[in-house]
Structure 1
Amino acid sequence: MERYQIILAYDGADFVGSQRQASSRTVQGELEKALRRLGWDKRTVYLAGRTDSGTHASGQVAAFDLDWQHSLDDLRNALNANLPADMAVREVKIAAAKFRPRFDATSRRYRYRLFCQGVRDPLRERYA
């Protein structure tokens, strides 16, 4: 059993946030569903931080333990095949056994995008 670190990207428009909630669609909940399809039977996925409802991410770090007998690329591909279209695993690494993204992070970066135009742009409406 290894601990894996992944880099997640997601369009948060249709999520109520990243942290698991019993009756709402969350990033953690969708990731756990995808992992269960790969044989994951653990209780916890560790996230680097929480995002609010509607917040997007291009580099959210998560970690989990999994008994996986294939390559890291195969794990990334298997996760992406089981995740919804508004989520993607960009990278997979083997992590230290006690790695916890929230506590082991050395920095965090946030980017806020504001579009201040006279007429709204429907193609950017969900992203600004």
Structure 2
Amino acid sequence: MEKARLDLFRGTLDVLILKSLIWGPLHGYAITDFIRRLSDEVLLVEEGTLYPALWRLESRELIEAEWGLSENNRKAKYYRLTTAGRRQLQHEARNWDAYAAAVGKVLGATRLDSPGDPA
């Protein structure tokens, strides 16, 4: 079965970026690679989407950046989580879990309940 590329819901990319940085600093390509690999090649983040998200997270002080050398000895900007970023990730993960559970209940419905019916 061929895998379809899925567009990210608004705001989802931010939490995926924060999650990718939980284990330590990464440069842009490594962040997109993390998301792509862990989503089984379904979520593909383009540069034109990634870098505005990184700038947005940096301006909100959820991540910090500094220049370093990549694995192939090239200059690269590395991003890392701040304390505020870790708190935001926890908050967003809880929200995502609640959202996914609610959607799952609706999609898993096997009958149409009337407003007065017991659950």
- Normalising by the residue count of structure 1, what TM-score does the alignment of the two structures yield? 0.26
- Bigger share in helix: 2
RCO higher in structure (CA 8 A, sep ≥6)? 1
Structure 1 or 2, whichever has the larger Rg, is 2
Q: TM-score, normalised by structure 2?
A: 0.27
The structure richer in strand per residue is: 1
